[in-house]
Amino acid sequence: MYSPVVVSSKEMVKEGYYFGVPPAVIGAAALAFGWRAAGAAAFLLAAFVFYFFRDPERVIPEEAGAVVSPADGRVVVVKDEPRDGRPGQRISIFLAIWNVHVNRSPAEGRITALEYRPGKFLAAMRERASLENEQNVFVLATEAGEMVFKQIAGLIARRVVSWKRPGDTVARGERVGLVRFGSRVDVWLPKEAEILVKAGEKVKGGSSILARWQRRPGAASREDLVGANQQAR
């Protein structure tokens, strides 16, 4: 049984300062010179940037086998999709520009692979974005087996950022990265996982449960995953 976990708030990720402070400084300078309209516009831009990079506290579900959403947004695709010859299912979530853009791990496990794939910047709502856009692809070994999730750039988002490396162990709902200014995330699960969401539903990263996926016989235990990570280090 998992214990409930409250992921502490960082209020705002550090990237927010990089992008938000310059327009705030420009706004102050514009007001000092009496350019009220320009100053107000710059301050509004800074306020939006600080809001965009917010990082709110989330309560992580305690239910064993729960697969949580890696991002805030709206479910746009739930479909059968094979991967490497294995039957499976894909859930795609679209992040509008006003959603929280900090991404979280859908489950507890060890990141066995992390691949950056350069690509296009199609609108993230489009189905082709899952294959053609710039993305980070995470392969996660869990107690139930292997799953895959992706950070995908969009038309406005031009950068996918991972804060993790292959070999890192992550907790369910732990922060793993960021996609800047509108994007998409995909989660791929084997066929035996029970999908609990449908297209059109709104979800919150780290707290909304997308699926149930119990440990299968012979899969690595939590202790095995932690031990393997310690050896890798």
pLDDT in tens, 80-139: 999 888 999 999 999 888 888 889 999 999 999 999 988 676 655 666 667 767 889 999
Helix axes 15-32, 36-52, angle to 10 degrees: 170
Catalytic residue from among 183, 207, 208, 221: 183
**169 and 136 share one domain:** yes
Q: Would you state the structure tokens that stand for residue 87, as one six-digit string?
A: 């039957």
> Which residues lie across from 95 on neighbouring strands?
183
**Residues in the chain, total:** 233
Q: Is residue 5 one of the residues assigned to a domain?
A: no
The rounded percent of the chain whose pLDDT value lies above 70 is 79
**Angstrom distance (rounded) from CA 207 to CA 73:** 12
The DSSP secondary-structure symbol of 105 reads -
Q: Is residue 204 one of the residues assigned to a domain?
A: yes
Active site residue 183: yes
* pLDDT at 3 (0 to 100): 32
Question: pTM of this prediction?
Answer: 0.77
Judge contact between 106 and 68, C-beta under 8 A: yes
Place of tokens 């890798």: 232
Question: What is the span of the domain harbouring residue 213?
Answer: 59-232
Q: Is residue 202 one of the residues assigned to a domain?
A: yes
Read off the pLDDT of residues 27-68 as tens digits, 9 standing for 90 and up.
888 888 889 898 888 888 888 777 777 888 899 998 889 999
Q: Would you state the structure tokens that stand for residue 88, as one six-digit string?
A: 């499976």
Q: Is residue 187 one of the residues assigned to a domain?
A: yes
**44 and 123 share one domain:** no
The DSSP secondary-structure symbol of 3 reads P
**Angstrom distance (rounded) from CA 173 to CA 182:** 20
Number of domains in the chain: 2
Task: Label residue 80 left, alpha or beta by phi (over 0 means left) and psi (-120 to 50 means alpha).
Answer: beta
